[in-house]
Amino acid sequence: MDTNKIIDSNISEHYELINKLDNKIKKDIAAAGKLIAQSIASGSTIFWCGNGGSASDSLHISAELVGRFKNNRRPLRSITLNSDVAVLTCISNDFEYAEIFSRQIEGLADPNDVLVGISTSGKSTNIINAFQKAKDMNLKTIAFLGKGGGDLISIAQKSILVPSNSTARIQECHIMIGHIICEIIETELGLN
């Protein structure tokens, strides 16, 4: 396959997926954005987590909230649980990798904070454990998912399910959804 075919094939898959996003996913995105905005307005913190490419996406979206998205404005309370190498390696070494996010939630979060987990499969044990801990502590939870949602879809209070089995296409949609949610948050808070 030549490079042009590779490029055309990937762009075509991307467009096909974007065109499959229906009113349900649009309502789910709006609900997630409004929930996060309301939580920030009440003084809550937004926690993010993910593995691999989804870890990068959680870093990216959290940074948009702390820094800025479209306009200069006050920083918003947002923390990424996969950014502290010392904490991640300590918990992995002294306990187990499956607890890297749940122990941080237990130590850092308060009731009514929000946990946003990004997982293309919905099967990551460390994210599932974090959502269980968040549920036990009365946090609000939102999952960005794909591939049918895995086990996480039944644990999350709100989920945004991308209708694809392609990890690359799901991740592309997740970052777009994250950017849309950032704009919803800024609009809801009157910051744009």
Query: Which SS3 state, helix, strand or coil, does residue 56 take?
Result: helix
Residue 10 covered by a domain = no
Q: Please report which confidence band the pLDDT of residue 77 belongs to, taking 50, 70 and 90 as the band edges.
A: very high
Residue 62 covered by a domain = yes
3-state SS of 85-101 is HHHHHHHHHHCCHHHCC
- Identify the domain containing residue 93 by its residue range: 22-188
Predicted pLDDT at 71: 87
- Residue 1 above 70 pLDDT? no
Instruction: Indicate the number of domains in the chain.
Output: 1
Residue pLDDT, tens place only, 48-60 = 999 999 999 999 9
Average pLDDT over residues 30-47: 98
Residue 6 covered by a domain = no
Where helices occur in 42-124 by DSSP H, the ranges are: 53-66, 85-94, 102-108
Residue 1 covered by a domain = no
Please work out, in degrees rounded to the nearest 5, the angle formed at the alpha carbon of residue 180 by the alpha carbons of 125 and 138.
Answer: 45
Predicted pLDDT at 192: 77
Residue type at position 7: I
Residue 163 covered by a domain = yes
Residue pLDDT, tens place only, 80-106 = 999 999 999 999 999 999 999 999 999
CATH of the domain at 183: 3.40.50.10490
